[in-house]
Structure 1
């Protein structure tokens, strides 16, 4: 529902200086759990990598860690043979205020994984992001339109953007706006690239 877009928008506003004083010198760093876990075959590999990331963030003034799908930190790395998972490695730095962190997850995954770790939940303030209205989703899609046009080398009419939102809202029930409208526009652009030129 645009959870990641909120963090990206915050980063953009920081660069533009359109944030409260406390964030003027902030820099957002995104943590890619998949990359961090990749190749961690030996006991302690993951722990050492994450500890190094935390240390570098602690030493970087104004650092803000962004973890997309933050529920994945619970249990992450524990399967590599180490004693600690990512959440337990992050807790000391979070509780001492040594690092600031933003995480995003879905409501379902928050309840299923994140909420069960009471010590971790205490270190965050939960902010619910509701699905945008159809009208708001159309405005969001208008903002994304140039990126998809450039990527797919196509042009989308305003009617196509509006239809992608309205029809996906009506017929795609297992996803939320604007994600399902983004998929419609993305798949349409990709399929158009496959059409042979006349």
Structure 2
């Protein structure tokens, strides 16, 4: 079961559709000037959409383009790769070298260490700082939200994310799962299929 990030992030991080509309309003003093109206700018058009993480589970991640990726990932604004680590203990200079050789150089690397309480070796942080890469080390849930936010701001960001082992379920998560199951069952019954 995927845990939706949308339900866990602050309201200014929420992405509910493929296009996000940013509205800005200029205040007027009783004028009929047509330029003094509310304007809307569409962010994240389909053709220019950066990758965002919509959900995560114990086995992987679901992206905003519909792709589900199994296991740890190295994610960039326009691409995603399988990251060959089995856990936090496998994060070393060799597994991080990919992030140090990229051109243009990434500004910040967001490392999702899985669950709260996991610790990354301090030598890896020093290694990345020597390579002039800022690093954020967070539990995977917070790392996904941080990656999405920085990517939406068009920063040169990369994510190195390990799926969490422990998942927190909220009432909203359970309700959404029940609604999806009910909708699936109804559509199958409407098609006349019998299980």
TM-score norm. by structure 1 comes to 0.32
Higher helix fraction (1 or 2): 1
Greater relative CO, 1 or 2 (CA 8 Å, sep 6+) = 2
* More strand by percentage: 2
Q: TM-score, structure 2 length as denominator?
A: 0.32
